[in-house]
Homo-oligomer: A and B are copies of this chain.
Amino acid sequence: MQSQKKIEVARQLSQLLIRSADLAKSFFASVSESLEVPPHLAMAILLLEEPAPMGELSQKMARDKSYITQVADQLESLGLLERVPGEDRRTKLLALTSEGKKLRLKLAEVAGNQSPIMTALNEEERALLSNLLSKILG
């Protein structure tokens, strides 16, 4: 393939990728906002199916631990989670309250059923997409 053409292919595909991810994000943002939680709090809730140490959430969200402290503070003040003692006394587990769990279910249901990924693609296409993306991620 010619060099100039290659550039265009790469650029357009990158743009498609970024726009799709933006769509997924903004879909998730609108779901969260309809449930009156900011998106990053909603994402944390979704990831806390089981109580987990803050460091673990930091990894899963790919955010600094100091930011997780702030997220946890906000969720706590909304009554959606509690910090409970962990194995060793430095560790704190983030555990959803019953209200947090309720919210998690609602969030998961809407996000699972109405996501553009679910509505636009059938099962086979989703599997295909999953493979291609995994390949990119190496």
Contacts and interface: CB of A to CB of B under 8 A. Distances in A.
Nearest to A24: B14
Q: Interface residue tally of chain A, by bracket?
A: 35 or more
A20 B117 contact: no
Interface of A: 1, 3, 6-14, 16-25, 28, 46, 108-109, 111-113, 115-118, 120-121, 123, 125-126, 128-130, 132-138
Contact of A121 (B113, B128, B136): B136
A24 B19 contact: no
A1 B9 CA distance: 36
A111 B3 CA distance: 11
Contacts of A138: 116, 120
Query: So how many copies of this chain end up in the complex?
Result: 2
Interface of A is mostly: helix
A10 B120 contact: no
A136 B116 contact: yes
Given A14-B28, A21-B17, A135-B125, A6 B117 contact: no
Contacts of A14: 24, 28, 111, 115, 117
